[in-house]
Structure 1
Amino acid sequence: MGDLEIRPAVAGDVPAVVAMLADDPLGAQRESPDDLSPYYAALERLSGDPNQRLVVAVREGRVIGTLQLTIVPGLSRRGAVRSIIEAVRVHADERGSGLGTRLVEWAVDTSRREGCRLVQLTSDATRTDAHRFYERLGFTASHVGFKLQL
């Protein structure tokens, strides 16, 4: 992985992050890289919330990966804190390089440091390659997820 840096995302990273979010059939339907204003507003909200970590993986000045980690205090599980990993993306040129593993390991390590007792993530039912990837990292498919579009 060489000189890989995982750091908080900044406004200058938004175009690269959105491009990665849009770089698959699902993302192409729901992302709008031609209008970045909602993404900049979202980054501002995320940056102001101490329970949010939107990070980018950077090598040689180029954003090549991203994920969002949310720390969730809770009452269940004896008051356990949990974390949620979302929007894991690796640039097409970097897939298969181990970068996704490094990003998820970063999220799990950060979750431990934050006192989390559980790390959760969801993956669209159609992303079977991603499911195999998460299982290789020790995650288990334990729940059925539901969404309500608002």
Structure 2
Amino acid sequence: MNTNPVTFREATIHDLDRIVFMLSDDVLGNTRELYKNPLPESYIKAFQSINSDPNNELIVACYSEEIVGIQQITFTPYLTHQGGWRATIEGVRIASSERGKGVGTMLIQWAIQRAKERGCRMVQLSTDKKRPEALNFYEKLGFKASHEGLKLHL
């Protein structure tokens, strides 16, 4: 068991290889991600877009220098809810060696606190229906399955 405290920071371009590895080290991720060396240019361009957008944050959870968790938070203004802002959490992954040890809980709680700091009225996320354990995890953290979500892949 790791005795170092978990710390959180914004990802840098130097973290991208580890991030893509973690995204692909997953039952669903290994069918949609392409982890190879060198990384495909599409990941670098996406990172640069996220990094240059003040309403997007790519956050890593670390034990010392080792990245053990990731998430992207997007802050969006809405006209609904009286013009309030929302935070959307996406791309959450915990290193397979660290799952079930509380890192995911700390990562999501960090995102909720960050949303409060940014003045958001709501935090939202989605999880694939093929991940019932993830749905249970988020519900334990206070999230409610209050809406039906739809996607159209292009």
- Shorter chain as denominator, the TM-score bin is over 0.9
Q: Of 66, 71, 75, which residue of structure 1 is paired with 2:75?
A: 71
Q: Which moved more, 1:61-70 or 1:32-41?
A: 32-41
Q: Of 26, 29, 32, which residue of structure 2 is paired with 1:27?
A: 29
Q: Of 9, 12, 33, which residue of structure 2 is paired with 1:10?
A: 12
Q: Counterpart of 1:66 in 2: which secondary structure? A: strand
Residue 97 of structure 1 pairs with residue 73 of structure 2: no
Q: Counterpart of 2:28 in 1: which secondary structure? A: helix
Which residue pairs with 1:54 in the alignment?
58
The total of aligned residue pairs comes to 150
- Give the TM-score, by structure 1 length: 0.96
The answer to whether the 8 Å contact 1:22/1:30 transfers is: yes
- Give the TM-score, by structure 2 length: 0.94
- Quote the offset at 1:60 in angstroms: 2.5
Q: Counterpart of 1:25 in 2: which secondary structure? A: coil
Q: Of 141, 149, 152, which residue of structure 2 is paired with 1:137?
A: 141
- CA shift digits 1:81-139 (9 cap, x unpaired): 11100011000110111000010001000000101001000000110010010000000
Q: Counterpart of 1:5 in 2: which secondary structure? A: strand
Which residue pairs with 1:88 in the alignment?
92
Q: Counterpart of 1:12 in 2: which secondary structure? A: helix
Computed over aligned residues only, the root mean square deviation of the Cα atoms, in angstroms, reads 1.0
Residue 147 of structure 1 pairs with residue 147 of structure 2: no
Which residue pairs with 2:113 in the alignment?
109
Q: Flag as ranges the 4+ runs of structure 1 deviating above 6 A.
A: none
- CA shift digits 1:48-87 (9 cap, x unpaired): 1000010111112111100000001010011111110001
